[in-house]
Amino acid sequence: MVCTMPILRALLRAACTLRRRSQRPAGLPADDEVLLDAPDERLSPALVAAALGEYGPAAKLLATTRDGAEWENRDRYLGRLVTFARSRDGWLTDWLAAAPHDPDALLVKAELAVRRAWESPVRAEQLREVGPLISAAAESDPRDPVPWRLALDHARGTHATHTVFEALWEQAVRRSSHHYGCHVAALRYLSAAWYGSHRECFDFAERAAEDALPGSLVRALPLRAAFALLMEGPRARTTSVQEERIDAAADLAIELSASFTPGDPWPAEVRNLLAFVLVARGRWEEALEQFRRIGPLAASFPWSSVSEDPLGRFLEARDDTRLRVACAAPIPGRADRGRPGGHYA
């Protein structure tokens, strides 16, 4: 597939030149306008300051999310700050030196330690060593569910039993019953790749989505279950029931996406995941609509799961989708002679 894809795309381009000139889909930004993991207006100053070795804006940002109980934003900003700290952590070192008991600094420290432990060839051993850091972050602010999301990830990597995991899950949902990050962590634990099965994964995700509030990203949780199944490729041998659940998950995520304005950074990752699943299912028109709604906001996930160049893979998938939709559309002024307008495989 990797070798034939460039040839296929060239053939599609040649076949669809006329259609593209007359019916080029509107609403897609140019390739050079698309940004990968673009920070929003709150996160951007914190990242710029961290690049200069200053921790103040990051500290203020996380403190604001904690004081306002903005747990979803807190988890999202934490992830981006830790991603930056993995290669440049001088600002974090200075922050911890100046405020060693700061709940926000302790949370960044714990998340960074967990990520580095996951990369170790002796992952379980390294994760056990960072357990006290997660406990310290959780104890520094008992209201915060984000350390418990870390604890759930930690439990998965240390081969914790279902009993231990369920106890951690209870602590997490007690603090925020619909926290997206905690739900994603639980879903990973229940996945077939870890300690569950595709059926358990879908059952959990569908129940959570049903209970979630309108507009909650938890309503996209079944899409995560669908992605986990699709990532197994030919090994998955999907049944008709599983395919129905994948499509139902996509339908639910389409409804969620429609509740946000196009180009909104909040659902950008979910929309990227939705586009990925729709492309995998050959639902080209719907995939194209999601690429329009994504606008310039490409996300590393899920494209990094299938390529070392996530932005390039996003653009390639978007281009392929646009071409397939153009090829399926009738040429203006040309009579339909009954030729099927099916999809190219």
pLDDT along the chain (345 residues), means of 10: 50 48 66 96 97 98 98 97 97 98 98 96 94 97 98 96 96 96 97 94 97 95 97 73 95 98 96 98 97 98 97 97 86 45 30
The full DSSP string for 15-64 is: HHHHHHHHHPPSSPPPGGG-EES---TTHHHHHHHHHTT--HHHHHHHHH
Q: Which residue is it, tokens 């729709």?
A: 278
Q: What is the DSSP letter of 145?
A: S
Other Cβ atoms closer than 10 A to 324: 20
Residue 123, SS3 per DSSP: helix
148: phi then psi, degrees, rounded to nearest 5:
-75, -25
Give residue 25's pLDDT: 55
The per-residue pLDDT for 2 is: 45
Rounded (10°) angle between helices 268-280 and 284-294: 160
Say what the pLDDT of residue 155 is: 96
Q: What is the pLDDT of residue 146?
A: 98
Residue whose token pair is 């030196």 = 97
> Which candidate, 226, 225, 138, 238, places its Cα nearest to that of 186?
225
**Straight-line distance from the first to the last Cα atom of the chain, in angstroms, rounded to the nearest whole number:** 10
| CA-only gyration radius of the chain, Å | 22
What's the CA gap between 338 and 325, in Å, rounded?
Answer: 18
Residue 7 pLDDT: 52
pTM score, whole prediction: 0.87
